[in-house]
Amino acid sequence: MTRSHRVLVCLFATILLIGCSSQRKVIYFQGEIPSMKESEKYQLKIHAGDILSVNIFTINAEAYPFFSISMDRPMSDTRSAYEKGIVVNDSGQIKLPLIGSVQLAGLSIPDATRLLEDKLKKYIDEPIVTLKKLNFKITILGEVNKPGTYAILNEKVSLPEALGLAGDISQFGDRERLRIIREENNETKDFFVDLTSAKSITPEIYYLHPDDIVYVQPVKRRAFQNITPAVTIFTSIITTAVIALTFILTQTK
């Protein structure tokens, strides 16, 4: 192989390496995803200061018309969470008609629902309780397409789902060092996640907790331009140089 041919091979190899390297930096969850069985055990807990929606029904509508299931409720409700819900007091209790104060702090939503139904059975037949946390929200900041604070209607929201709500990470976001800030037991915890590696998605951070803050920092080259156009331009220049060099070599033979 002549020296000129070796130069051509090196240039082509450089183009391929640049393209592959750039692609690896934007592909999510590369590798084998670890087991998420531990994360599936996570249940939303009730804490002091939470706002709960508590609805009590009974299938025996004639005996207890006040608690009968109503089908004519408006589909939309513009009231705030504070107006619609019951605030868990500093002692971790809520107060309801008939049963009075009930300790709910520390319980999961299913456990709290069963507790309320058991207490109501002393007063009404076959009570049905629906319980929902109204102040479950997360905040997503930084280099995402739709930053903001999002209210979560379900009992769980995963990190991929949260990024989906925010319209995914923008072209300027650093996917290799996403930060999750969590307040837990009066202590602030920091988690750093490499979204390009499946091993980085641990059970502890797969499901987000209420009031979690997800921050996507910009890549270091954010001040200049997005890496993809830069690579495209650079690749085009090298390709043009290779074609020109090939033409010159063929003409000199």
List, for residues 62-74, the tens digit of each pLDDT value: 656 555 544 344 4
pLDDT for residue 119 is more than 90 = yes
List, for residues 139-185, the tens digit of each pLDDT value: 999 999 999 999 998 888 999 999 999 999 999 999 999 999 999 87
pLDDT for residue 13 is more than 70 = no
Give the residue, 208 or 21, on which the prediction is more confident: 208
Given pLDDT bands bounded at 50, 70 and 90, which one contains residue 215?
A: very high
Closest CA to 208 of 136, 147, 144, 132: 136
pTM recorded for the entire structure: 0.68
